Structure formats: C-alpha cells, structure tokens
Amino acid sequence: MICKLFVLSSCMNLKLTSQTLSVAGRQITIDLPADPEEMLQQALAGETAGDSNWDPYWGLLWAAAPKTAELLLRESWPGPLKSMEIGCGVGLTGIAGLMAGLSVTFADHAPNAVAMAQTNALKNGFCDVDGRVFDWNDPPDEKFEFIFGSDILYDSAGHLPLLRTLDAMLGLHGQVWIGDVGRTNAPAFVKKAEQAGWKIDIRRETGESVAQPLHLQFRLLIMTRR
C-alpha cells in the first residue's frame, strides 16, 4: 500500500513514544515526541535560525483532544462530510473523525504536525489522508462542511485570525466544533465570535448544553453562522 504523506523534517530527530488510547470504545494508537523539553530546544534553535515552522507545542497531546474525540465518535454524522481538523497537532481528534466516517483533512501551521498526524492516521488504517499547512493569517481558498479542533484557544492573539479562517473556510451551512478544557481565554473567544456574528452552543463533555461552564471545566463550542 502506497500512501501520500508529508515528510517529517529530516532535521527534527526527535525521539518518539507511542500511546494507545481508548476513545468511545475504539482503540487509537499514536506516535508523538517523547520529550517536550527536547521539542522546546529545537524550536528555540529553529527560531534563532529564522525558521518559524519550529513550534514547541504541536507534538503535545493536549487535554481536550481525547474528550473532543469522544464526542466526535458518539455523534451520528450524515455521511462522509468534507471536514478539517484545524491545529491538528499529532492528529488524535482527526483520527477519531475518520473513525466516525468523516472525510478529514489535517491542517496545521507546523509541517511536522501535519506529517505526524498523517503518519498516525496510517497507523490506524487510514491511507491517503489529506494535509494542509497554512497560517491562520493566510487561509487557503477552500471550503469545508465541518471544521473541528481542540485546545486552540490558549493564545488570545490567535482568536481573530482563527475567526477569519473559520469564516473563510467554512461552507455556507457548515458547523465548527472546538473542544476546550476551560482555559481563561475561552470566554473571551466566545464573546469575540458572537460579536462577529456566530451563534455558539456550549456543551459539556456529556453532550448537554450549558450556559456558563466552570473555569477549567471541559466545554465543546458548537459554532454556526447566524
């Protein structure tokens, strides 16, 4: 079987570890960098060399990813929606989307993240999964029926670029899911999104709607255009 993949940077040289997670009764196996400190040192070296692709965070398994993946797998989807995992990192949530029957494209500004996500998709039996490398300040001219991500609200400076990307890339009647563990910046993002014309339904990890989730309590933001 020959699959088209982004190629991990030959200068990455990161030690990897493997994890198998049980998500909604499904087993998902992923590789990810074993040492966050090693990632940080390589990111600093890349920044010094003028290479903005060295992100020290892409290889972490963020806390919201398994919970978002669980909700994706428990949802009944109307066929293989053209979908994108934005800020894919190592791709756990996107793999859950593939298992749920979605047609998923992995997207991140870090090429190594997209490559790792595609490699992890292959480890779980999914070949030729598309990948996109782009910055939220310059989204490609492409539309998706469903866009999802997890733990992508931690930097308030990225909120407006993220909203512009969602507006540019989401189809007319599409939907956005963002899983967040209740970070301080999440309510600020909700306010900006509502001011920009988005309707937001906030749900617990069990799927019920909630008006005001507690700080550090997982929430799923379901976004649609008004």
Kindly report the length of the chain: 226
Residue 220 within a domain: yes
State the pTM of this model: 0.92
State the residue range of the domain holding 64.
59-225
Q: Residue 195, SS3? A: helix
Residue 202 within a domain: yes
- Would you state the pLDDT for residue 224? 98
Distances (CA, A) of 37 to 28, 34, 42: 25, 9, 9
- pLDDT tens digits for 93-120? 999 999 999 999 999 999 999 999 999 9
Q: Residue 32, SS3? A: strand
Residue 183 within a domain: yes
Phi, psi for residue 105 in degrees, rounded to 5: -110, 130
Residue 31 within a domain: no
- pLDDT tens digits for 65-81? 999 999 999 999 999 99
Q: Which helix (H) or strand (E) holds 172?
A: strand 170-180
Q: What is the CA radius of gyration of the chain?
A: 17
Q: What is the CATH number of the domain that holds 69?
A: 3.40.50.150
**Per-residue tokens: 166:** 């969602």
User: What is the spatial distance between Cα 153 and Cα 185, in angstroms, rounded to a whole number?
Assistant: 6
User: What is the spatial distance between Cα 61 and Cα 58, in angstroms, rounded to a whole number?
Assistant: 8
- Would you state the pLDDT for residue 56? 77
Contact 59, 14 (CB under 8 A): yes
Please say if the pLDDT value at position 57 is more than 90: no
Sign of the Cα pseudo-torsion (114, 16, 120, 27, in order): negative
Q: How confident is the model at residue 183 (pLDDT cuts 50, 70, 90)?
A: very high
| Contacts with 49 (C-beta within 8 Å, 6 or more apart), sequence order | none
User: What is the spatial distance between Cα 206 and Cα 175, in angstroms, rounded to a whole number?
Assistant: 19
71 CA to centre of own chain: 14
Total of domains in the chain: 1
Give the chain's largest Cα–Cα span: 48
Residue 193 within a domain: yes
Residue 185 within a domain: yes
Residue 48 within a domain: no
Type of residue numbered 42: Q
Please say if the pLDDT value at position 11 is more than 50: no
Please say if the pLDDT value at position 202 is more than 90: yes
- pLDDT tens digits for 135-179? 999 999 999 999 999 999 999 999 999 999 999 999 999 999 999
